[in-house]
A and B are shown apart, each in its own frame.
Chain A
């Protein structure tokens, strides 16, 4: 158990809908990262938040957005869902010690868009 929690574990929804994925980082970790894992794209970095502020952005679609709240939990919002958004979404967290930083991953949320 990495200490990173994600809810829900599974999510099934229809095209055009909007969903919210939630992540609670390890105690003391200030940084939260979101990754998408799909069969065709592999593991892709989406976005990073550090202490409530966006710090790095990857190949995140405009239909997707995220935020980190004062209690450091984070939410990833996916809207106007398409079939191709079906994937495993991982959250990771780190305390951020500069060069020595290590990311610890949650169990993931499996999103199925029908």
Chain B
């Protein structure tokens, strides 16, 4: 079964500092990986995804993630944090067979941005 592990349930950074949110996956087949963000009292918004091709994936709001097969990782980064980045971030892996599909999520990382 495919799974993802997010290291660190809470991460705090200063405004302007580097953001690094960690995600490791377990998969017996080439994984399809996603990062979603959830702002308070809102739904999940897609940040970026990796399916095939380029291993460095750029998303919205200045975020990017790098797929590293050798490390089974898909860490999310942003060079300079902004107060508006405070939210919960979820890494997910997609499993599919034919038209059956589902996402398996990590436990989430809450990002706090301080002045």
Q: Which residues does A use to contact B, with CB under 8 Å?
A: 2, 4, 31, 33, 35, 42-45, 48, 50, 55-56, 58, 90, 92, 94, 96, 98-108
Contacts and interface: CB of A to CB of B under 8 A. Distances in A.
Interface string B76-112: 0000000000000010001010111111110110000
Nearest to A110: B41
Interface stretch (B15-23, B46-54, B63-71): B46-54
Contacts of B104: 45
B101 A42 contact: no
Determine chain A's interface SS by DSSP, over half rule: strand
Determine chain B's interface SS by DSSP, over half rule: strand
Contacts of A55: 98-101
A105 B102 contact: no
The residue among B43, B90, B108 with the most chain A CB atoms within 10 A of its own CB is B43
